[in-house]
Structure 1
């Protein structure tokens, strides 16, 4: 007589904000209870619980999920049980790749209890791809509604961000409102003053370093751990840091938001979009400089940009698009002035 295969299961639970208001039925506790009861009633041994609480199902970069995959690779489990298909994930391509390719290759039995999916019974799985597509459509719809609500608040002038911009603090009575940080305000004022005096961003950064003025990250709590801040680099300013201060309308009391939207609800890659597509809100908080000064500075910075010699200027169609693959900064267009000599020689020879 053949021996019955013994299954050792990893019980996977996941919960995030995209699961709507059914908190009780979807809670991690209720998922654990359901998975445990199912395993015990069907004679499946439990190896461990894998819990990702607060992680979206639209991507698979979740710590406990990755740990479960490692345990699969190490041969510790040969069965995965979830409450339903959406607990595994809401990206139908990746969910399908795991269920129909990865799990079979590793001889893993997959069970989604409430969806009636058990890869041990192939005749039950015909509807599975369609359920995965519906799960992704739900996530897409939720993402669209959340994004629309956030953009609406941005247009109203509500500040949405994990931390306040350099020079500001979050109002302790209203975390969506900015107030001036009196400790760092003088640094912002100095940067604008030096610009109005005719100095470029490189000269301004050098002047800040000469005066031993701490860089923005120096004012962040736990900067040593977060940014590797030391006494040596504490006062190192780059022209990009200065330019960010000069370009941001937040310093004249306005807001430009949604400057780097994500590619899609499945891809968190940030996009570069035209300034005309930014979400602008005016007079949202007290400015550190006047709007007139800010506009004057924009004109001065624009005049310095691509300030090539007369007769050699051209509109660079790749400006703002070509970026360094390591740091992400835009590559600066540079004119090869030997071009003038080559053109002159060709005209002479002709």
Structure 2
């Protein structure tokens, strides 16, 4: 049965603010209060735990983690704290962990105001209520602090603890802080923007700054990331950003983690500090940064198949897959269906056959005399439907007049109206179907007229498009599907029955 007690000391945000105003060391004051409490009650103290770091969650407080582990092991009879909120305040999950650890181990919580025995239902309720109230107080403080920070930024004041490179913090005459340019760092910032606008990249600028022995913000060598952050920083244009990297809590693998993603839609406020870079220069820099930014796609995720999504096996209908080049074999296409008689063929041969098939299709297209389809019947039918719709709508209007004149009873009016509406609906459906057919004919005619120049363009620029993704995009402009055929293995036979059947997009009716 344990007989010793432990002291747990932790600073709150209010304590930190009080210390900043000269009220002395909080931990020392609280330690004196608890030692006097232990002395008055003759409580043997076995250890004193001082939490130096301040964190919202237990995961960020290593001393609290150690104390909880010892409490769960039943090492202490009780723990002395100035108030229950010192144990857990920020997270309801953490509060539950603390409450359970003390309850199941039977460890007392001793405060100057009251001693809590978590094994007793009344004390457990009081302790849970105290933790709940401390949580609400913590939320209120957080809201007040966030509102104060937002208000200060809107007023143009600087709220950071460290000034950006090229600036130093300075106290405003009223209240709050701002920043002011300092040399020679501000001159370096101007140089970075001038070099970037002259056409140099962030990496080149970093190399140049290292060559002329200019120290970086960390007093180490310059790197492209540091230059990039300076080029994106709105403080240099006299602006104050709202939240560039806001806190975001996410659950991953059952664990709560805090991330700080980049906020690309960050709101900017006019600052009271002096700008190092003209506003127009900074805005032009941001435009160039956005224009030049191309996300890098890992090689494993890049497209290597120029016929991706187009090539199908003519035996089983499955999409043909690309087998990458190895030391023994070239790139080739193969059918993934087990037992399919289709055999593989080199990618280069299949691609050459596709281009040859396109050339033949283009030749036949140019040699054909374009037919001018006769849509007279469909157009006459469309006019007839339109005239009948006009007639039915007039009859519908007439039914309202007849019921108003008392010629139609209410029942007769409703029946007649239902019949006319049904006929209008039938005519509208017929009209829509007829119009779809006319539009499809017109679209196909237009596609055939534009097909030759489009195919010719694909053939002209295809060889110049080295990237497989670009070649694939070109082919998909004019080809809907390609059927692949090959059933003989040339390893055992000189016969080669490799062939492809191209289905151009213009052959399909819309």
What TM-score comes out, normalization by structure 1 length?
A: 0.71
Q: Which of residues 334, 341, 344 in structure 1 aligns to 2:471?
A: 341
Task: Verify: 1:299 aligned to 2:287, yes or no.
Answer: yes
**1:285 alignment partner in structure 2:** 273
What is the RMSD of the two structures over their aligned residues, measured on CA atoms? Answer: 3.6
User: 1:56–1:340: structure 2 CA closer, same or farther, 3 Å change rule?
Assistant: closer
Give the equivalent residue in structure 2 for 1:191: 192
Structure 2 residue aligned with 1:315: none
What residue is the counterpart of 2:238 in the other structure? 253
Q: Counterpart of 1:216 in 2: which secondary structure?
A: coil
TM-superposed CA distance for 1:30, in Å, is 5.8
Name the count of aligned residue pairs. 301
SS at match of 1:213: coil
Q: How does 1:173-322 map to 2 (within 5 A)?
A: 176-218=177-219, 234-238=220-224, 240-263=225-248, 269-275=259-265, 277-278=266-267, 280-306=268-294
**Aligned residue for 1:135?**
134
Question: Given that residues 188 and 245 in structure 1 are in contact (C-alpha distance below 8 angstroms), is that contact kept between their aligned partners in structure 2?
Answer: yes
Q: Which consecutive residues of structure 2, in runs of 5 or more, have no partner in the other structure?
A: 250-255, 304-466, 483-501, 504-510
Quote the Cα distance in structure 1 between the aligned partners of 2:475 and 2:206. Answer: 41
Q: Is the 8 A contact 1:85 1:112 kept in 2?
A: yes
Structure 1: any 5+ residue segments left out of the alignment? 219-233, 307-330
Q: 1:39 to 1:304 in 2, by over 3 A?
A: same
Partner of 1:224: none
Does residue 6 of structure 2 align to residue 10 of structure 1? yes
Taking a change above 3 Å as real, the CA distance of residues 22 and 252 of structure 1, as seen in their structure-2 partners, is closer
Aligned to 1:125, what secondary structure does the other structure show? helix
1:58·1:136 contact (CA, 8 Å) conserved in 2?
A: no
SS in 1 for 2:60: coil
CA contact (8 A) 1:112 1:118 kept: no
Counterpart contact for 1:171–1:178, Cα < 8 Å = yes
- Higher helix fraction (1 or 2): 2
Distance in 2 separating the partners of 1:141 and 1:61: 21
Q: How much has 1:162 moved relative to structure 2?
A: 1.5
> Matched residues in 1 for 2:73 and 2:216: separation?
46
Q: How does 1:25-104 map to 2 (within 5 A)?
A: 28=27, 31-40=30-39, 42-52=41-51, 55=54, 59=58, 61-62=60-61, 64-69=63-68, 77-90=76-89, 91-100=91-100, 102-104=101-103
State the Cα distance separating 1:196 from its structure 2 match: 1.5
Specify whether residues 51 and 67 from structure 1 end up closer, same or farther in structure 2 by C-alpha distance, changes over 3 A only: same
- Cα distance change on mapping 1:116 and 1:110 into 2, 3 Å: closer
The two structures have a TM-score, normalised by structure 2, of: 0.51
CA–CA distance in 2 between the matches of 1:30 and 1:184? 43
SS at structure 1 position matched to 2:180: strand
Hey, what's the Cα distance between the residues in 2 that align with 1:167 and 1:27?
A: 35
Q: Secondary structure at the match of 1:169?
A: strand
CA contact (8 A) 1:96 1:132 kept: no
What are the Cα deviations for residues 310-330 of structure 1, in whole angstroms up to 9, with x where unaligned?
xxxxxxxxxxxxxxxxxxxxx
The 1:112–1:60 alpha-carbon spacing in structure 2 relative to 1, beyond 3 Å, is farther
Instruction: Report the Cα offset of residue 215 of structure 1.
Output: 2.3
Q: Within 2, Cα distance between the matches of 1:260 and 1:34?
A: 40
Q: Is the 2:157–2:271 Cα contact (8 Å) retained in structure 1?
A: no
Q: Contact conserved, 1:18 with 1:142, CA < 8 A, in 2?
A: no
